[in-house]
Amino acid sequence: MATDQKVEQAWETPSHDEIPQISKMHVQAMESTDDDAVWVQAGMHHVLIRTIGRKSGNEHKIALPFWRDPDGVRVVVASFAGAEAHPAWFLNLRDRDANPEVLVRVQGGQFWSVPDILEQGEERDRLWALLLEDRAWYADYQTRTERTIPLVRLPETRPFEG
């Protein structure tokens, strides 16, 4: 993929307490417009992912920046800014019984995806190294936690018809 995805961090990472509220406000804005000012934040394009709570059964939505792998597939990072625990959206997404596929909204459209979860192994490590070339701050997030930060590919499995 020949697009430049390199972003230099020019912001202070929000606290783990601030991240859910920021995401909630971002989701609301993303649902109301397709304007670049909402969908492209800090130089990164975003997706809105809808999951079903693995315990509650409730619908949850999260706004996340994405990066494209060499094949052009969108990849999101379950970093939670280096928190010790995985983010709730990731735990929900990883639960295949609750979320065999997820609805992904992108600027100008939606699609269903069967996420490809990369928690360890050569493919995760290869993509992690490529990601860090464009988004170096994720290396700092990894140093903050003992867990391996997962990557999640979001292939366009089937179109959304709704």
Handedness of CA 130, 125, 146, 26 (dihedral sign): positive
Handedness of CA 26, 42, 51, 106 (dihedral sign): positive
Fold annotation for 18-159: Pnp Oxidase; Chain A (2.30.110)
Mean pLDDT by 10 residues, the chain (162 residues): 62 69 85 92 91 93 95 96 92 92 95 97 97 92 95 96 80
How confident is the model at residue 1, as a pLDDT? 42
d(CA 39, CA 33): 9
pTM: 0.88
Question: Where are the chain's structural domains?
Answer: 18-159
